[in-house]
């Protein structure tokens, strides 16, 4: 029997987040021929986003609009999505493993009495079985899990799966609009979102991350790192050591209790490489470490290591990239 999958497409500041397209790709990897993949968007004034999403291979885009959906609120969102879940009865739900997905997915799984596999970094097929690959113990182990029943809820770690591509034939999926204005009654939503970002590029989606640790020594010490990141079109991150020392905000923290990043290139400057830090960046494709201690554990996972003073090495890199 054919199956129905639903992705809950995350967006921010009027733009689809890349992880929404990665979730779509995950659903497409799981789906067989004849299965239908739908996408749900929740928020306010979704026309532009719905049209953008409709260019992807989807059976239908469901734009659910309401003033109460301006900011994410689990109750209001769950109620707004409920009629669609009732009518679609999805066999699988896919969300990003982001702050939003981490909160919303379990609520949906509970609502649907579904099983959930979280933080998926790859999907494999073994005969008829679909295996969801996820890291364990701060990335020290990898497990492959399979569902034994439907419905299924899956969250996808950002920047691990390729993003879905728009349809090649240029056709667009049908867009169904619904309005929903269920206020949430268990929590009060503060009608203001204060976002702390260091730059224009979202750290979790950046292709290049330049991260600083306690070795950066001060807030001013982060300037050359910011300069290098800007030059490379990347984002700045940090270890908890640097955040705890007050050199930067916790919004930049990468690791077990911070953000998980998987960029193409990760440049660690003055970071020792504690296991809790590695948990947030060991999935990076190329790791470059700059540290003056040749015994620093970060060199154990680095593809390229530079033993030296970051205050000499980073300006040299900036100089070289400016020339290139
Ligand atoms: P340090 O370990 O002090 O390393 C600084 C490094 O800079 C050293 O290797 C030194 O050789 C080098 N250095 C100094 N000066 C220079 C220079 N001029 N040039 C080049 N190199 C220089 N940490 C995280 O990062 N993220 C987390 O999410 C996280 N979660 C945690 C959760 C728990 C429950 C616990 C217990 C800890 C957690 N930690 C986390 C903390 C972690 O254990 C480390 O303490 C932290 O990562 C160390 O940060 P650091 O590498 O910047 O500092």
Supply 194's token pair: 């204060």
Q: How confident is the model at residue 198 (pLDDT cuts 50, 70, 90)?
A: low
Question: Where residue 265 falls among pLDDT bands split at 50, 70, 90?
Answer: very high
Would you say 290 is a known binding-site residue? no
- CA neighbor of 264 nearest in space, from 159, 124, 155: 159
To test ligand 1's pocket by mutation, which of 240, 246, 268 has the most ligand atoms within 8 angstroms of CB?
Answer: 240
Cα 247 to averaged position of ligand 1 atoms, centre (Å): 13
State whether the beta carbon of 117 lies less than 6 angstroms from ligand 1. Answer: no
Q: Which range has the worst mean pLDDT, 33-42, 175-184, 212-221?
A: 175-184
Tell which wins on pLDDT, 156 or 67: 156
Q: pLDDT at position 295, please?
A: 98
Q: What is the pTM of this model?
A: 0.83
Distance, in Å, from the CA atom of 14 to the CA atom of 220, rounded to the nearest integer, reads: 33
For range 54-69, the mean pLDDT? 96
- pLDDT > 60? residue 197: no
Residue 19 pLDDT > 80: yes
What's the token pair of residue 248? Answer: 């930067």
Q: Taking 70 as the threshold, does the pLDDT of residue 196 lie above it?
A: no
DSSP H stretches of helix in the chain: 18-30, 47-54, 74-88, 99-112, 223-232, 240-244, 275-281, 310-323
Taking only the tens place, the pLDDT of each residue in 283-301 is 899 999 999 999 999 999 9
pLDDT score of 189: 63
The residue-averaged pLDDT of 225-231 equals: 96
What's the confidence (pLDDT) of residue 291? 98
Phi then psi for residue 183, to 5 deg, are -70, 155
* 8 Å CB contact between 83 and 179: no
CA of 196 to the centre of ligand 1 (A): 22
Annotated binding residue at 175?
no
> With pLDDT > 70 as the criterion, what percentage of the chain qualifies?
94
């Amino acid at each position: 029997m054919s199956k129905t999958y639903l992705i809950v497409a995350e967006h921010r500041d009027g733009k689809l987040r890349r992880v929404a397209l990665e979730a779509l790709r995950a659903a497409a990897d799981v789906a067989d021929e004849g299965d239908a993949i739908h996408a749900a968007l929740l928020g306010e004034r979704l026309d532009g986003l719905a049209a953008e999403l409709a260019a992807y291979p989807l059976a239908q885009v469901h734009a659910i609009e309401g003033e109460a959906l301006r900011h994410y609120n689990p109750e209001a969102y769950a109620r707004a999505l409920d009629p669609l879940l009732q009518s679609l009865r999805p066999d699988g739900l896919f969300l990003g493993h982001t702050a939003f997905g981490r909160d919303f997915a379990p609520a949906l799984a509970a609502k649907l009495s579904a099983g959930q596999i979280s933080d998926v970094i790859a999907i494999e097929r073994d005969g008829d079985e679909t295996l969801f690959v996820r890291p364990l113990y701060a990335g020290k182990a990898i497990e492959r899990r399979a569902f034994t029943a439907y419905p299924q809820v899956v969250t996808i770690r950002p920047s691990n799966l390729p993003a879905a591509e728009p349809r090649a034939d240029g056709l667009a999926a049908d867009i169904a609009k619904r309005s929903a204005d269920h206020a949430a009654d268990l929590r009060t939503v503060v009608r203001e979102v204060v976002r702390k970002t260091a730059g224009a590029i979202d750290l979790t989606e950046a292709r290049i991350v330049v991260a600083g640790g306690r070795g950066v020594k001060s807030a001013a010490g982060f300037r050359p790192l910011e300069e290098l990141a800007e030059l490379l079109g990347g984002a700045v991150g940090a270890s908890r050591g640097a955040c705890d020392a007050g050199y930067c905000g916790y919004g930049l923290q990468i690791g077990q209790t911070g953000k998980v990043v998987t960029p193409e290139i990760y440049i660690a400057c003055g970071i020792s490489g504690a296991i809790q830090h590695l948990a947030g960046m060991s999935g990076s494709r190329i790791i470059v470490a700059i540290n003056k201690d040749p015994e620093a554990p970060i060199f154990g996972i680095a593809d390229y290591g530079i033993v030296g003073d970051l205050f000499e090495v980073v300006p040299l890199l900036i100089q070289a990239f400016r020339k290139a």
